[in-house]
Structure 1
Amino acid sequence: MKLGCIGDDFTGSSDLANMLAKEGMRVTQFTGVPQEDADDDVDAGVVALKSRTTAPEDAVRLSLQALQWLQRQGCTQFFFKYCSTFDSTKEGNIGPVIDALMKALHAETTIVCPSFPATGRSVYQGHLFVGDRLLSESGMEDHPLTPMVDADIRRWLGYQTSQGVGHVPAVTVFDGHEAIAAKLVSETRAGRPVIVVDAIRDADLRQIGAAAKDLKLVTGGSGVALGLPANILRRDEISDVAAEWQGLPGPAAILAGSASKMTQAQVRRYAKDNPSMEITAEAVMNGGATPDQAARFALEAAGTALLYSSANPETVKSAQKRYGRETIAARIEDFFAQTARLLVDGGIERLVTAGGETSGAVVEGLGLSALRIGPEIAPGVPALKTADRNLVLALKSGNFGDEAFFEKALALLDGKR
């Protein structure tokens, strides 16, 4: 294994794995820290943790465990992947994890680059944009778990890290990888070793990747990984994951637990012409909806059913106020995990999930230990195949994909192009 990656949730980890596979690496995504060594043919291993919203001390512990396993696999460069919308509160764990990984690796410098232009995320003057909107005006300010009310990544990270936060502005990035590398050195010498790097184009990400060639630790969204494989692979090592992909034509189901604007639009489109069942927080909390009922509805439906809990922000906030944010989140995640087990036991072979927490709950609930990366369904979302059972999946972050994503995912998981 050449590149060792740590992801703070499951959809983000598959997003990263997808990026690396598109650039020619043979990638396996692991659920949690593996107990066994990886296969010899793996170029990049992505250890997917469920740590995005955990307490900093827990996120640090899990991340260091993942790092130690990756080091045993022979990795020489490491990547800490978080969301391209930098999902975190002021008290969040991105900064503490970066600090801990740098200390463990004796890394003098690292970069922070959540940019992912293919999905509309860009960093300019240290501020994170979603499309033409500042992150804090993009809808992320209403996120039920990690509301982002400040788009200045330097300032937000400054609340979390014990180290100085530096910056490589776009004007330097445009001058190429040598200029970027020189700026990284000068920022580190000035006492700012955790360095936010601007990026608005894929070409910027490739230059940043080249500049990061000798860094022990790189951090960011999956976009910055675009430039890393070229530092590692020889031309004769590049693989074609799309050519190797074989889908499954069996029964399918969709589980959507994200309250993002895009997932809500995807749900509305799909539910117009297909069987669907809404799972409200109220029904989960009072027993009005059960995993048995939901699974039976999907298994008996005439067509591929959608089970969704994707309420608008006002409804979510009302339920959180009544029952508590953590309590509701845990109950809904458990609901979808149990439902997924019943669906797979009932013969489902294609499973599409929307939402990071929902996807993590489903993967853990099914006990999936390793996932092979297939072709891309949408930017940041690959097809996934389990190694030990007849099951293919798509794990989608809330805001990824267009309104027709569910239909496209089902078709590609079926093996159709």
Structure 2
Amino acid sequence: MLLGAVADDFTGASDLANTLARGGMRTVQFVGPSQDSAPADCEAGVVALKTRSIEPGEAVRQSLAAARWLLDQGCRQILFKYCSTFDSTPAGNIGPVAEALLDLTGAELAVACPAFAKTGRRLFMGHLFVGDRLLSESGMENHPLTPMTDPDIRRWLRRQTQGEVGLIPLDTVRDGPEAVAAAFESERRAGRRLVVADATSDDDLLALGKALAGHRLITGGSGIALGLPDNFRAQGLLSDRPAELPVPRGPGAVLCGSCSAASRRQVEAYLETVPGLAVEPADLLSGGMSALQAADWVESREGAAPIVYSTADPTVVAAAQASFGRAETAAAVERFFGDLARMLADRGVRRIAVGGGETSGAVVEALGLKSLAIGAEIDPGVPALVAERDGPLGLALKSGNFGGPHFFAKALDAIGSP
């Protein structure tokens, strides 16, 4: 294994795995650090964790365990992958995990760049934009777990870390990899261990990637990985042989627990032609709805590839959180979708499209999967995935804000056949 990545959620892991696979690396997504060795032909391994919203100390512990396993597989470079909207809190996990990985790898400096231009995430003067809006005005300020109220990534990261945070501005990035490398060296001499780098296009990300060829640790969104495969290719280390994946065949279903604006639009579009079951968090917490009831409902509509969703306006979610508590509400929703996915797979559903990072993590864990093979890209940042569970099982794991309006129908077609 050449490149090892630690991802703080499951959709982010598949987003990154998609980027590396499209770059020509034979890539495997692992569910947590494996107890076994990676496949011999694996060139990039992405370990999917569920650490984005947990206590920082535990996030550090799990991330270090994953990184140690990747280093044991021979990885020459470690990438800490977080969301392109930098999902965290002022007391959150990105900074502490990045500092712990710096210590583990012995790296003196690491870039921090969540930019992903194809999905509208751009960094300018250290400020993160989503489309044409600052992060704090994009809807992410209403996120139920990680409200992003400040677009200044340097300032946000400084709240989570022990030292000053540097910046490589866009003008320097546009001057090319040599200028970027010199800027990194200047920041290193100044004692700044984490350095935010601007990027507003794929060309910027490719320039950053080339400058990062010798870096032991990299942090960022999946966009920062765009240029990394070519660094290994230039050294003659890639096989450039795509993997052949089995085709899952059987009924499909959609599960969506994301409350993002994009997910709400996707659910509305899917409901135009497909039956749906709306699930309120309050019903889950009061016992008015169970995973068994939902599984029976899906099975009765098996041929229609129906959708079960807990996708509501943020005010509805806030009301449930006020009544039952934020952590209790989130746990109930995740437990419901995890149990539902397991029941559906046990009943023969072979294609499952999932909306929401936390929901995706709950589904993968409940299914007991160990690794996922990376297939074709469905929409930017979202690949088709194939796992082994009593035969091939097709999955699509979508971060809340990713995907076009008709993502769910497109995903079910991409991950297998009826």
* Alignment TM class, shorter chain as reference: over 0.9
Asked whether the equivalents of residues 246 and 415 of structure 1 are also in contact (C-alpha less than 8 Å), the reply is no
| 1:33-78 Cα distance to aligned partner (Å, 9 max, x none) | 1111111000000000000001110000000000110111000100
How far apart, in 1, do the equivalents of 2:22 and 2:417 lie? 18
User: Which amino acid is the alignment partner of residue 51 of structure 2?
Assistant: S
Matches within 5 A, 1:219-368: 219-233=219-233, 234=236, 237-241=239-243, 244-301=244-301, 302-368=303-369
Q: In the alignment, is the contact (CA less than 8 A) between 1:247 and 1:412 conserved in 2? A: no
Residue 153 of structure 2: aligned partner: 153
Equivalent AA in structure 2 for residue 240 of structure 1: P
**Aligned-pair distance for 1:235?**
8.2
Q: Secondary structure, in 3 states, of the residue corresponding to 1:112?
A: strand
Q: Deviations over 1:187-234 (max 9, x none)?
A: 111122200000000011111001001110000000010011111123
Identity of matched residues, %:
52
1:126 aligns with 2:108: no
What is the DSSP-based 3-state SS (H/G/I as helix, E as strand, rest coil) of the residue aligned with 1:122? strand
Q: Distance in 2 between matches of 1:30 and 1:339?
A: 22
- Do the aligned partners of 1:119 and 1:379 also contact (CA within 8 Å) in 2? yes
- Measured after TM superposition, the shift of residue 129 of structure 1 is 0.3
The amino acid across from 1:369 in the alignment is K
Distance 1:18 1:163 in 2: 33
Paired with 1:335 and 1:408, the residues of 2 have a C-alpha distance of 25
C-alpha displacement at 1:415, in angstroms?
5.5
Matched residues in 1 for 2:396 and 2:414: separation? 10
- In the aligned structure 1, how far is the partner of 2:106 from the partner of 2:416? 46
Contact 1:99–1:163 (CA under 8 A) maintained in structure 2: no
**Contact 2:78/2:216 (8 A) holds in 1:** yes
Is contact 1:353-1:394 (8 Å) kept?
yes
Hey, what's the Cα distance between the residues in 1 that align with 2:218 and 2:227? Answer: 11
SS in 2 for 1:391: strand
Instruction: Supply the AA of the counterpart residue of 2:416.
Output: D
Whole-Å Cα distance in 2 between the matches of residues 55 and 65 of structure 1? Answer: 16
Output one character per residue of 1:125-174: Cα deviation in whole Å (capped at 9) or x when no partner: 00000011000000000000000000000000000011220000000000
- Quick check: 1:375 aligned with 2:376? yes
Q: Using the alignment, how far apart are the partners of 2:185 and 2:166 within structure 1? A: 11
Counterpart CA distance in 2 for 1:133 and 1:238 is 38
| Residues 184/378 of structure 1: CA separation in 2 closer, same or farther (3 Å cut) | same
For the Cα contact (< 8 Å) 1:385–1:393, is it kept in 2? yes
What is the number of equivalent residue pairs in this alignment? 414
CA distance in 1, matches of 2:331, 2:289: 15
Task: Give the aligned residue type for 1:375.
Answer: A
Which structure 1 residue ranges, 4+ long, deviate > 4 Å from structure 2? none
Q: Does 1:73 align with 2:77?
A: no
Distance (Å, rounded) in 2 between the aligned partners of 1:245 and 1:103: 38
Query: Normalised by the size of structure 1, how large is the TM-score?
Result: 0.98
Partner letter of residue 374 of structure 1?
Answer: G
What's 1:216 paired with? 216
Q: Which runs of 5+ in 2 are unaligned?
A: none
Distance 1:239 1:178 in 2: 31
Shift in Å at residue 272 of structure 1? 1.9
Instruction: Assess if the C-alpha contact under 8 Å between 2:10 and 2:360 holds in 1.
Output: yes
Q: 119-128 or 388-397, which moves further after superposition? A: 388-397
Determine the structure 1 residue equivalent to 2:408: 406
Contact 1:32–1:47 (8 Å) recurs in 2: yes
Q: CA deviation at 1:236?
A: 6.3
Instruction: Please give the alpha-carbon distance, in whole angstroms, between the structure 2 residues aligned to 1:387 and 1:182.
Output: 46
Distance 2:241 2:318 in 1: 46
Instruction: Write the letter of the residue equivalent to 1:379.
Output: P
- Find the aligned partners of 2:392 and 2:41 in 1 and give their Cα distance: 22
Measured in 2, the distance between the counterparts of 1:191 and 1:369 equals: 40
TM-score normalised by structure 2 residue count: 0.97
Aligned partner of 2:187 in structure 1 is 187
- Offset of 1:246 from its aligned partner? 4.2
Name structure 1 gaps, 5 residues minimum: none
**Structure 1 pair 236/80, CA: closer, same or farther in 2 (3 Å)?**
closer
What SS does the corresponding residue of 2:144 show, helix, strand or coil? coil
Q: Following the alignment from structure 2 to structure 1, what is the Cα–Cα distance between the partners of residues 64 and 139?
A: 32
Give the residue type in structure 1 aligned to 2:347: G
Over residues 277-296 of structure 1, what are the superposed CA-to-partner deviations in whole Å (9 max), with x where a residue is unaligned?
00100110111111011011
Q: What are the superposed Cα offsets for residues 339-383 of structure 1, whole Å, 9 maximum, x if unpaired?
A: 011100110000000000000000000000000000000000000
CA distance in 1 between partners of 2:19 and 2:408 (Å): 20
